[in-house]
Amino acid sequence: MRLKERIRNDVLELAPYRLDDDFPAETLPDLVRMSLNENPLVDRSQLMKMLEAAIRKIDPRNYPEPHARIAVEALGKFHRISPSRILVGNGLDDVLDRLVRTIVDVGSEVVIAEPTFFMYTYYTQLCRGRKTQVMLNPDFSLDVDTLIRASKDARVTFVCSPNSPTGNQFEQDDLKRVISECRSLMVVDETYVDFAEYSALKWIDEYSNLIVLRTFSKAFGLAGIRIGYLVANEDLVEAIKKTVHPFNVSSFAQQLVVEALHRYDYFKRGFRAVTREREWLLKQLRCLEGVTPYRSDANFILFRVNNRTPSSKIQSGLRDRGILIKDRGGIPMLKNCLRVTVGTRSSNERFLRELRRLTL
């Protein structure tokens, strides 16, 4: 039997989301990963105390609460939102997967404000939807009028704010107008919102088409635990639950949500520490000849290098020196651009030293 004959043709043609550059098989000298927007500024010892507290409150012999009920109730109380409007998943990728599967079928139109996170396109293609891309303006702001027009016949529109990989949070008036005038469901991905100025969650009662995505992977430093969630209209949440296994979130992860929210003041101080380090790194990058950094409202910075030194060469040169960052130069609008995660001061200084050597 030829196995390929039993696999959907569109799946065979699907471009995988590869992480080979972020998890190299070979040993690199004193590896520093500044490519996945993890948060190394969170004190690991504090996280270990939180993990230990969570372990003491669970019994691994028992199945977890169905549909992450413990985490959902904790988030509802924290956000002052009915738990019926919250869905928690095994990381935000899991939530995004289930959301798209619920909304998009063959030929459904999906509007995406780009350049942005690749997985919106990936899950759209997986469901055999039809993508319409609306490019950002040259200054990376939303093309509001075009987005609204494009959404006329769409099932769903995706906007990431703060946006990855550009780093900017969109103007409140622009985003609110898109939400209010779009005829589709409107997804606002707030993966990096803890480092920014405002959240679209304050509009969740005002617009029934609004879906807000959040995660504990970035600001809370819990990328390895896999906790993501969405807030939306309760009818939509109930529909998505039909696609989700009832035990999709472990007891441990659910209890960690409770512990993290209980320690929110500690984490909030950490958010501010990241933004201070981000502004320091941004200032240093502005001083480098041949480097143009862009304003960021996230925990990473997008920067452009001059045409004499291609972004791919910069990435590979840093990789040889044990520093991993993302090359974004192959994305429309982002020629010769790279993205670097804000790290600890020592990591940031090492990155700057090596970048300076490569761009001189």
53-79 pLDDT per residue, tens = 999 999 999 999 999 999 999 999 999
CA 302 → CA 183, 311, 322, distances in Å?
32, 12, 20
**How many other C-beta atoms lie within 10 A of the C-beta of residue 89?**
26
How many CB atoms are located within 10 Å of the residue 307 CB?
10
Q: Where in the chain is the domain with CATH 3.90.1150.10?
A: 3-44+266-359
pLDDT exceeds cutoff 90 at 213: yes
- C-alpha span between 183 and 115 (Å, rounded): 22
Higher pLDDT, 20 or 48: 48
Fold for 3-44+266-359, please state it. Answer: Aspartate Aminotransferase, domain 1 (3.90.1150)
Q: In sequence order, which residues have a C-beta less than 8 Å from that of residue 239 and are 6 or more positions away?
A: 102
- How far apart CA 338 and CA 316 sit, in angstroms, is 11
According to DSSP, residue 214 is labeled: E
Give the Cα separation of 290 and 205 in Å (integer).
46
**3-state class (DSSP) for residue 178:** helix
Higher pLDDT, 236 or 5: 236
pLDDT at 309 over 90: no
The three-class DSSP label of residue 310 is: coil
**pLDDT of amino acid 12:** 79
Distance (Å, rounded) from C-alpha 49 to C-alpha 339? 32
Q: What is the reported pLDDT for 354?
A: 96
pLDDT at 20 over 80: no
Interval 104-133 mean pLDDT: 96
Quick one: pLDDT band at residue 1, thresholds 50, 70, 90?
A: low
Provide the b/e sequence for 14-37 (b: ≥16 CB within 10 Å).
eeeeeeeeeeeeeeeeeebbbbbb
C-alpha–C-alpha distance, residues 220 and 216, integer Å: 5
Share of the chain above pLDDT 70, in %: 99
As a whole number, mean pLDDT of residues 105-119 equals: 97
Q: What is the CA 293 to chain-centroid distance, rounded?
A: 20
What gap in Å lies between CA 88 and CA 82, rounded to an integer?
A: 13
Torsion sign, CA atoms 212, 65, 77, 237:
positive
Mean pLDDT computed over 264-279? 97
For range 99-124, the mean pLDDT: 97
pLDDT band at 124 (very low <50, low <70, confident <90, very high): very high
Q: What is the CATH number of domain 59-263?
A: 3.40.640.10
4, pLDDT greater than 80: no
Position 274 scores a pLDDT of 98
Taking the C-alpha atoms of residue 76 and residue 177, their distance in angstroms, rounded to an integer, is: 26
The answer to whether 192 and 48 are in contact (CB under 8 A) is no
Q: How confident is the model at residue 307 (pLDDT cuts 50, 70, 90)?
A: confident
Residues of the chain with CATH 3.40.640.10: 59-263
Identify the band that residue 6 occupies on the pLDDT scale cut at 50, 70 and 90. Answer: confident
Cα dihedral across residues 216, 300, 100, 172: positive or negative? positive
Residue 34 predicted with pLDDT over 90: yes
The amino acid at 83: P
pLDDT at 9 over 90: no
Q: Are 203 and 210 in contact (CB under 8 A)?
A: yes
Distance, CA of 72 to CA of 215 (rounded, Å): 13
CB proximity list for 173: less than 8 A, separation 6 or greater: none
Highest mean pLDDT among 30-34, 245-249, 272-276: 272-276
pLDDT digits (tens, 9 = 90+) for 81-96: 999 999 999 999 999 9
Work out whether strand 337-341 and strand 300-305 pair parallel, antiparallel, or are unpaired. antiparallel
Q: Nearest to residue 271, comparing CAs of 297, 301, 295? A: 297
Q: What digits encode the pLDDT tens for the residues 221-248?
A: 999 999 999 999 999 999 999 999 999 9
Between helix 234-241 and helix 92-103 the angle, nearest 10°, is 100
**DSSP state letter for 4:** G
pLDDT band per the 50, 70, 90 thresholds, residue 308: confident
Q: Tell me, what's the pLDDT at 5?
A: 67
Confidence of residue 27 (pLDDT cuts 50, 70, 90): confident
**Mean pLDDT, rounded, for 167-191:** 97
- CA distances in angstroms from 64 to 48, 77, 168, 248, listed in the order given: 21, 20, 37, 9
The H-assigned helical ranges of the chain are: 9-12, 44-56, 69-79, 92-103, 119-126, 144-150, 172-181, 234-241, 251-262, 264-286, 311-320, 345-359
